Amino acid sequence: MRILSGIQPSGKLHLGNYFGMMRPALQLQERGEAYLFIANYHALTSVHDRERLKQDTWDVALDFLACGLDPVRTVFFRQSDVPEVHELAWLLSAVTPMGLLERCHSYKDKIAKGIAPSHGLFAYPVLMAADILIYQSNVVPVGRDQKQHVEVTRDLALKFNNEFGEVFTIPEPFIPDEVAVVPGLDGQKMSKSYGNTIELFGDMKETKARIMKIVTDSKGLEDPKDPSACNVFALFKLFADDARRQEMEANYRGGNYGYGHAKKALAAAFEETFAPFRARRAELQAHPDYVEEVLRKGAERARTEAAKTLDRARDAVGLSFTGRA
User: Which residues lie closer than 8 Å to 232 by C-beta, 6 or more apart?
Assistant: 214, 216, 259, 262, 263, 266
Nearest in space to 183 (alpha carbons), one of 239, 230, 244, 147? 230
12, 113, 159, 192: the active-site residue: 192
12, 189, 297, 308: the active-site residue: 189
| Active-site residue, 189 included | yes
| Active-site residue, 54 included | no
Q: Which DSSP state fits 5?
A: E
| Active-site residue, 213 included | no
Nearest in space to 4 (alpha carbons), one of 32, 38, 35, 30? 35
What is the set of active-site residues?
A: 110, 189, 192
